[in-house]
């Protein structure tokens, strides 16, 4: 009985770890390449973003007896991929460091935590939707540009989305690996490094990149991952997750991993449901074992960072973005639905979305930052008008 009680959450954690890694690594590596990282630096980033959150997950789950699942920030990786490319990778590392400092301060300063988590949902969700939208277009683009390569991936995802949704993205990744292996069979891999590697970088401090990238990474991490992550834990009966401890720990982990390419750490949202829900174990008090198992699995999978980087490097960029787009489609749907949920804020949401998706850059600061600013200003402008209209329409 004891063995059966332990086996179920262990298996649930392994599935969560594999799913999170398989669905996220193409996006993460492509994003790091987009901001100037070499293959070695991208491999280093993937390694630390597996090992550090994996160890944090193990420690927090054991100490709190809650299935706390910490992963890298998928919205942040999407933001990095969607941002204007740069060769100043050192300043991008400075932006990662700023995000870690802000997460740490969030845990130490309750006012900041309350303020950030109260960013109006229409604005936060519309900004996230604008970041994800270009990436989610990639499956359509690739299906026309490279149909022989892209269509098997898209069709695999589509079939399993109906038959076994949990395995749709991992299966699409497996098909992508097969397609890349066949299409790049003649590629010269003599200089490729398949073993995991750490490549530290001294952070740079170009203000436009550090601020223009670091603050949006922090905000999308909070709004797109941490807030839903806490909601998942509460949904499954963990009413009082230690928010301060989680923010301080993930912030410290982010600061530690940033010089090695670590973008951002946060609570898991999608995979959190796998370890916190009844599928992990009927007894809620036994589900923390799934958290430990998931963290250990993610840390071990970090050893494949070199192989994963080589896979992405020899693939056509649009093919890797195709997998990322399929993996993020659910997040895009959720973001759009949340942004447009309140009819009174739909104009604000659409304008925020349009600014984010435009890709404009002003003074070197990307569109995500300006989308937040534009959405906030429009919401302030519209608020008195809405109140006046409401008074005029009142019986």
- The pLDDT, as a whole number, for residue 117 is 64
- The pLDDT, as a whole number, for residue 188 is 58
- The pLDDT, as a whole number, for residue 1 is 39
Question: For 356-376, how does the pLDDT look when each residue is reduced to its tens digit (9 = 90+)?
Answer: 888 777 766 667 778 888 998
- The pLDDT, as a whole number, for residue 311 is 81
Q: How much is the mean pLDDT over the chain?
A: 85
pLDDT: which is higher, 289 or 118: 289
- The pLDDT, as a whole number, for residue 96 is 96
Asked which of 114-128, 184-198, 314-328 is least confident by mean pLDDT, the reply is 184-198
pLDDT above 60 for 139: yes
Residue among 12, 81, 18, 99 at smallest CA distance from 302: 18
Question: For 75-102, how does the pLDDT look when each residue is reduced to its tens digit (9 = 90+)?
Answer: 899 889 887 767 789 999 999 999 999 9
pLDDT above 60 for 70: yes
For the chain, give the number of residues.
395
pLDDT above 60 for 392: no
- Global model pTM greater than 0.85: no
Q: What mean pLDDT do residues 263-287 have?
A: 85
């Amino acid at each position: 009985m004891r063995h059966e009680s332990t086996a179920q959450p262990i298996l649930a954690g392994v599935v969560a770890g594999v799913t999170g890694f398989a669905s996220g690594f193409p996006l993460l590596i492509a994003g790091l390449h987009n901001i100037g990282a070499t293959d070695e630096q991208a491999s280093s980033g993937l390694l630390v973003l597996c090992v550090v959150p994996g160890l944090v997950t193990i420690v927090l789950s054991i100490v709190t007896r809650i299935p706390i699942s910490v992963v890298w920030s998928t919205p942040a990786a999407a933001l990095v991929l969607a941002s204007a490319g740069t060769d100043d990778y050192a300043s991008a590392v400075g932006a990662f460091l700023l995000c870690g400092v802000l997460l740490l301060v969030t845990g130490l300063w309750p006012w900041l935590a309350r303020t950030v988590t109260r960013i109006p949902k229409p604005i936060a969700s519309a900004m996230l939707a604008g970041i994800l939208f270009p990436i989610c277009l990639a499956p359509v683009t690739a299906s026309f540009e490279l149909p022989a390569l892209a269509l098997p991936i898209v069709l695999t995802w589509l079939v399993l989305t109906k038959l076994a949704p949990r395995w749709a993205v991992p299966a699409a990744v497996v098909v992508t690996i097969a397609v890349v292996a066949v299409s790049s069979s003649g590629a010269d891999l003599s200089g490729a490094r398949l073993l995991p590697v750490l490549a530290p970088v001294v952070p740079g401090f170009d203000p436009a990149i550090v601020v223009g990238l670091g603050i949006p990474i922090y905000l999308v991490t909070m709004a797109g991952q941490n807030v839903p992550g806490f909601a998942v834990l509460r949904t499954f009966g963990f009413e009082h997750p230690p928010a301060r401890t989680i923010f301080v720990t993930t912030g410290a982990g982010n600061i530690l991993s940033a010089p090695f390419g670590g973008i951002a750490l946060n609570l898991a949202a999608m995979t959190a449901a796998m370890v916190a829900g009844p599928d992990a174990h009927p007894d809620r008090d036994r589900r923390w074992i799934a958290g430990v198992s998931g963290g250990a699995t993610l840390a071990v999978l970090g050893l494949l960072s070199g192989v994963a980087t080589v896979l992405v490097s020899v693939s056509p960029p649009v093919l890797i973005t195709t997998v990322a787009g399929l993996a993020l489609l659910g997040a895009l749907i959720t973001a759009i639905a949340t942004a447009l949920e309140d009819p009174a804020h739909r104009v604000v949401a659409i304008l925020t979305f349009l600014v984010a998706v435009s890709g404009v850059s002003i003074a070197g600061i990307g569109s995500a930052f300006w989308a937040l600013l534009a959405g906030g200003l429009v919401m302030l402008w519209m608020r008195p008008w809405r109140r006046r209209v409401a008074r005029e329409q009142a019986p």
